[in-house]
Amino acid sequence: MNFQIFGNEKAPTFHPTRTSSMGAPTLLLIPGLGVSYEIFLPLIRLTEDKFRIIAAELDGFTLGRHTRFTSVDDQAAQVIAYVQEHHNGHLDCAYGLSLGGKILSRILERNEIEVDHAVLDAAPLLPLPRWLVGPLRYYQAGNVWTCYHWTGFWKVVFHSHYFDVLLDECRKTWPWGGAQAVLDGYESVYTNRLNTISGADIHFCSQAPGEASPLRLSTSACACLPGYEPRTTADRPPRRSGKTSDIYLNRRNPIVPKALFIP
């Protein structure tokens, strides 16, 4: 796993309760399966004046070198070790997208570093039935294979900036991890279950009607921030930037969430 650093460590802080001498708050970004950290570049450009940004490159999807994705637990352990070594075991904010949200959930569950505010965006927290894992991971690997080899065709079919970004990301990451990275990633995603996260204030966003929470939470507090959609990371980075800042600045809710789950 690699970590790319953005922003100015000595930039003035923008949180009203912090002093400029403390430096900018840290923001960890963890991308999803099949994409690189570069999917966050539009978001980074909008937030690097406010945050010290750490963008993780997941094993199997690093750019420029061959790596092997092992498991959600292993990726979480590498992030934890990095934060302990370089940031004294503390993050002001962390954002995980899809697989990145799954990894972030495991980081929170292990509770070995302090994360003040966390956003899990479209994170697959529930495991699938064992009999479905094998066929589905091969189906997904086939999907990613076609995205790499038939990029031009799919761009014509979808004709969407959102899919253009995903297809371009696939073109960049596939040569360094290939089908094995996708197979390994989905196997871990589909079999790893999040059980418990402890925190002073945890919000779980809008579940499907009648769906029971998959988590045993330490608080019953729930909140829903409207307008969060997985594709806004690619399509509308200003919205994602603004909402990430709002969570940190406590503008939209009377209580800043310890963790926010966005299905």
Residues in the chain, overall count: 263
71 falls within a domain: yes
| Per-residue pLDDT at 71 | 94
3-state helix, strand, coil in the chain (%, to 5): 45, 15, 40
| Per-residue pLDDT at 196 | 77
| Per-residue pLDDT at 195 | 79
147 falls within a domain: no
84 falls within a domain: yes
Q: Are 228 and 33 in contact (CB under 8 A)?
A: no
172 falls within a domain: no
Residue 58 lies in domain: 2-126+194-262
Q: What distances in angstroms separate CA 86 from CA 6, 26, 138, 170, 220, one per listed residue?
A: 14, 11, 37, 30, 34
Residue tagged 């029971």 (tokens): 212
Q: Give the CATH number of the domain where residue 105 resides.
A: 3.40.50.1820
168 falls within a domain: no
Domain count for the chain: 1
| Per-residue pLDDT at 200 | 61
| Per-residue pLDDT at 254 | 34
Q: Are 31 and 102 in contact (CB under 8 A)?
A: no
For residue 164, give both structure tokens.
Answer: 């253009």
| Per-residue pLDDT at 190 | 87
160 falls within a domain: no
CA distance 63 to 106: 24
For residue 250, give both structure tokens.
Answer: 């406590």
Going residue by residue through the chain (263 aa), what tens digit of pLDDT does each one get? 999 999 876 544 444 444 434 678 999 999 999 999 999 999 999 988 889 999 999 999 999 999 999 999 999 999 999 999 999 999 999 999 989 999 999 999 999 999 988 888 888 888 889 899 999 999 999 999 998 998 888 888 888 888 898 899 999 999 999 999 999 999 998 888 877 776 666 665 544 333 333 333 332 222 323 333 444 455 555 665 555 556 555 544 433 344 555 44
| Per-residue pLDDT at 138 | 94
| Per-residue pLDDT at 123 | 83
76 falls within a domain: yes
144 falls within a domain: no
